[in-house]
């Protein structure tokens, strides 16, 4: 660790909203109180410190050093706003339009599923920008979900959904939203297969479907799946072209 890195870390610790001694109350989980720090061996089996995001994710302390507190929290809130049925489209909402009930379920489950963010491989140069898995609790029984942030930069390209998109996408995995078995190799899917994947679909609809300019690039099946059949006709204006010979990337539109 260099001196510069230590100074850098200290800066971000100070910038983190709750101070490092702002411990969570004992009932933080049942009362859904975040913006506080928790030290617990429950996840890994040895005591570790986590920042509890105001909307329920837990962020292991070392992620502070990699992503800078406030920007990561803001990216997570951007993702959460898209899920929240109380946030209208002019404020960055999405599920308030397409499926309020499903969005409410998601934000409730972010608290109850115990989703932690880790950064062991942050800054790695691999192909994977993030990955989510189910893990047995180190203590106390049950299981938790781990979102490992890895080579985030590789998925944070101009015109893409950015870090909020990565958080949104990985959180949907943590919430067990249905993904195709070949989800991790979209380059091998045809477009008509790709649009059946509900994790990519929700990401495309919520990041590009809100704006008429980019909505035409998002497939209508991605919208009707998210809207559970679209009983309220919210999917007008989405793209209705299908192809089983064009590659996923042709209409994948990770960027508009
Ligand atoms: Zn995925």
Task: Write out pLDDT tens, residues 177-231.
Answer: 999 999 988 888 899 999 999 999 999 999 999 988 889 889 999 999 999 999 9
Asked if the model's pLDDT at residue 120 lies above 70, the reply is yes
CA of 31 to the centre of ligand 1 (A): 30
**What is the average pLDDT across 234-244?**
92
Q: Which position has the higher pLDDT, 150 or 171?
A: 171
CA of 180 to the centre of ligand 1 (A): 10
pLDDT digits (tens, 9 = 90+) for 12-60: 444 556 665 689 999 999 999 999 999 999 999 999 999 999 999 999 9
CA of 169 to the centre of ligand 1 (A): 6
Whether residue 256 contacts residue 204, with contact meaning beta carbons closer than 8 Å, is answered with no
CA of 199 to the centre of ligand 1 (A): 7
Asked if the model's pLDDT at residue 68 lies above 80, the reply is no
pLDDT band at residue 126 using 50, 70 and 90 as cut-offs: confident
CA of 173 to the centre of ligand 1 (A): 7
CA of 231 to the centre of ligand 1 (A): 27
CA of 42 to the centre of ligand 1 (A): 26
CA of 185 to the centre of ligand 1 (A): 10
Asked if the model's pLDDT at residue 146 lies above 90, the reply is yes
pLDDT band at residue 6 using 50, 70 and 90 as cut-offs: very low
For residue 5, give every residue at least 6 positions away whose Cβ sits within 8 Å of its Cβ, in sequence order, or none.
Answer: none
3-state secondary structure 110-165: HHHCCEEEECCCCCCCCCCCEEEEEEECCCCCCEEEEEEECCHHHHCCCCCCHHHH
């Amino acid at each position: 660790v260099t001196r510069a890195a230590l100074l850098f870390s200290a800066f971000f610790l100070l910038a983190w909203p709750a101070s490092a001694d702002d411990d969570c109350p004992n009932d933080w989980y049942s009362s859904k109180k975040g913006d506080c720090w928790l030290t617990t061996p429950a996840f890994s089996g040895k005591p570790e410190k986590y920042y509890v995001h105001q909307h329920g994710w837990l962020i292991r302390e070392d992620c502070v050093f990699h992503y800078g507190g406030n920007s990561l929290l803001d990216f997570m809130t951007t993702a959460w706003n898209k899920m929240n049925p109380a946030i209208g489209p002019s404020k960055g909402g999405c599920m308030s339009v397409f499926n309020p009930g499903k969005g409410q379920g998601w934000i409730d489950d972010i608290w109850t599923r115990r989703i932690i963010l880790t950064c062991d491989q942050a800054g790695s140069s691999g192909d994977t920008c993030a990955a989510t898995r189910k893990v047995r609790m180190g203590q106390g029984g049950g299981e938790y979900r781990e979102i490992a942030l890895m080579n985030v930069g590789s998925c944070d390209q101009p015109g893409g959904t950015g870090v909020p998109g990565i958080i949104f996408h990985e959180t949907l995995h943590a919430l067990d939203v249905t993904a195709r078995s070949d989800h991790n190799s979209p380059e091998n899917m045809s477009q008509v297969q790709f649009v059946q994947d509900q994790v990519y679909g929700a990401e495309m609809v919520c990041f590009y479907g809100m704006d008429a300019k980019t909505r035409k690039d998002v497939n209508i099946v991605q919208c009707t799946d998210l809207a559970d059949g679209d009983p309220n006709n919210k999917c007008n204006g989405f793209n209705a072209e299908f192809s089983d010979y064009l590659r996923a990337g042709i209409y994948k539109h990770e960027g508009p």
